[in-house]
Amino acid sequence: MDAVTSPPTPYNEPVRSYAPGTEERESLRRRLAELGGTRHELTQTIGGVQRLAGGKSFDVVRPHDHSQVLGVSAEATREDVAEAVRAAKDASGAWAETSYDERAAVFLRAADLLAGPWRDTINGATMLGQSKSVQQAEIDAACELIDFLRFNAHYGRRILAEQPRSTPGVWNRLEYRPLDGFVTAITPFNFTAIAGNLPTAPALMGNTVVWKPTPTQQLAAHFTMRVLEAAGLPPGVINLVTGRGEAVSEVALTDPGLGGLHFTGSTGTFRMLWRTIGEHLDTYRAYPRIVGETGGKDFVVAHSSADPAALVTALVRGAFEYQGQKCSAVSRAYLPRSLWESGLREELADVTRTIRYGDISDFSNFGGAVIDARAFAKHRALFDRVADDPSVDVLVGGGTDDSVGYFVEPTVLVGTDPGHEVFATEYFGPILAVHVYEDGDYSRVLDLVDEASPYALTGAVFATDRSAVEQAHRRLRFTAGNFYVNDKPTGSVVSQQPFGGSRSSGTNDKAGSVFNLVRWTSPRSVKETFVPPTDHRYPHMG
Ligand SMILES: NC(=O)c1ccc[n+]([C@@H]2O[C@H](COP(=O)([O-])OP(=O)(O)OC[C@H]3O[C@@H](n4cnc5c(N)ncnc54)[C@H](O)[C@@H]3O)[C@@H](O)[C@H]2O)c1
Ligand SMILES: N[C@@H](CCC=O)C(=O)O
């Protein structure tokens, strides 16, 4: 029997400190040692069955110590993806018929498993596989993923409660069906939470899913799948395929039964996937929903009234946490000459020099390595380019070393030309470009901030002068989907700062909010007339 219920009141998972002497620190250390001491078989999961993909095998390594192999996985073949699509289609009928509460209970149970017995595993896998410090793993793999699961269950209920008006003799209802087809979720390396949210949000709304995480996030994705199974997710609802993804775009994205694409990753990849769907537009049963959150060139603009200590902290944390590999990371800053020349330059350089990257198992390190050899080479190439460029000075950093891990020094570049690539291109590494402007040019600099880059993801203004805040607020209305005042532009929290940007940064469907979940339902409007008319003539006919 249906009942009007409400899921438990959601709350943000408290962030643990892992400070010296705490039990949580020792427990995580033990799990890190176990996880690092095993060579994991990183299988696909299709229709509930785990097996290695049929294509070329590859190793998953620790980015900060790339000779250490964490596990072996393999490229999904076209046949593997076709099997995953079949499994998603086979499971769709029963899952769509499962009540919302039953579906939500699976994900709420997964949240509590992650908060409790699985916490060390998901954090440890994220630290080892994606080279995150304990703090960065905790806010991502544990807290943000738990928050996505808890709050989505709550937001989904809000959608169900959204019902049309009825009039005497007529009952109007909205029935929230899943999409008319399966969803493909393709996820990035940098957030275990995002990788977990992209398949589970559509599944909560009754869709079945083909999920392709990225090879460098495979270890944490493997355990995310195990948590979902432990929470009672039926076989075939989420089907995990492994590898780089060409077979996924060739087979899953071109299948006539594709209902939607839930993507997070780079702008280039998203455009390519959208084009693939566009090229097959005439073949789909229904128009696929496309949600994609992509790259950023996130800014901090400071007014001469800014508090320098708060500004330096925000720049250093915003640019160098997780080695600058957050889509929200500060990668360009516009700073007034008066502050720059009265100590800000030295303070920024000094604090940046104290940032230590190394093995994340050493908890005294601030961060680890960049994700892989490709990212490393891209940053190295940039440093080589700017070395001969008279318009760019290296204030601090610029060094790289890949002998053990893919290490790139926290780097501050100072550029005199605000049109230079360092103010426009997303490098996705620990590289902050600074442009120093004359104090009187604040209005002009706001125009620059808006126009220098094609992205519009996150950004921040630092000022104590209220009119300067107000001016930035207005002028930068479309420059960031997440705008911060006197705070770093990273670290959004589910339910507090719904996340996403527009322009080249994505479709801005705000992950972890009601706006995102709405994209995964296809409502049916039902009108029931209790006593229907029995005469076709209208009164005006006499
Ligand atoms: N806006 C956001 O919310 C947000 C959040 C996190 C990351 N990001 C962005 O993600 C990027 C970093 O992540 P990344 O390096 O993993 O991105 P990426 O574009 O390299 O990869 C993303 C996913 O696409 C897959 N992929 C690549 N080519 C494919 C193909 N031909 N067919 C199918 N799948 C394919 C990858 O294997 C991976 O799973 C950055 O640009 C960052 O800004 C954005
Ligand atoms: N919630 C994260 C999202 C980062 C994406 O890569 C942040 O706001 O920093």
In the reported structure, the alpha carbon of residue 427 is separated from the centroid of ligand 1 by a whole-number distance in angstroms of 13
Q: pLDDT value at position 5?
A: 82
Q: Retrieve residue 231's tokens.
A: 């929470």
DSSP characters for 396-446?
A: E---EE-SSS-EE--EEEEES-TTSGGGT----SSEEEEEEE-GGGHHHHH
3-state secondary structure of 504: coil
pLDDT digits (tens, 9 = 90+) for 257-280: 999 999 999 999 999 999 999 999
Nearest CA to ligand 1 atom 34: 245
d(CA 44, CA 87): 13
Is the C-beta atom of 291 inside 6 A of ligand 1? no
The structure tokens listed for 263 are 């993507």
Does ligand 1 come within 6 angstroms of the Cβ of 203?
Answer: no
CB of 328 shorter than 6 A to ligand 2: yes
Distance 326 CA to ligand 2 centre (A): 6
Tell me what pLDDT residue 2 has.
Answer: 64
Residue 7 is predicted with a pLDDT of: 84
DSSP class per residue in 3-72: ----PPPP-PPPPP---TT-HHHHHHHHHHHHHHTS-EE--EEETTEEE--SS-EEEEEETTEEEEEEEE
Options 144, 327, 347, 426, the catalytic residue: 327
What's the complex ipTM? 0.99
Backbone phi, psi, residue 173, to 5°: -135, 155
Ligand 1 centroid – CA 265 distance (Å): 2
> Is the CB of residue 16 below 6 angstroms from any atom belonging to ligand 2?
no
Cα-based distances in Å from 106 to 113, 229, 258 = 11, 9, 24
Half-sphere exposure of 70 (CA within 13 A, CB side): 28
- Amino acid identity, position 246: E
Q: What is the enclosing helix (H) or strand (E) of 111?
A: helix 100-115
Closest Cα to atom 7 of ligand 2: 491
Q: Whose CA is nearest to atom 36 of ligand 1?
A: 214
Q: What is the mean pLDDT of residues 117-127?
A: 99
Q: What is the mean pLDDT of the chain?
A: 98
| SS3 category, 381 | helix
Pick the catalytic residue from 75, 83, 144, 293: 293
Mean pLDDT for the stretch of residues 92-108: 98
The response to whether residue 491 sits with its C-beta less than 6 Å from ligand 2 reads yes
Tell me if residue 293 is catalytic: yes
Does the beta carbon of 352 lie inside 6 Å of ligand 2? no
Q: Where are the alpha helices (DSSP H) in 116-236?
A: 119-130, 134-137, 145-161, 192-204, 218-230
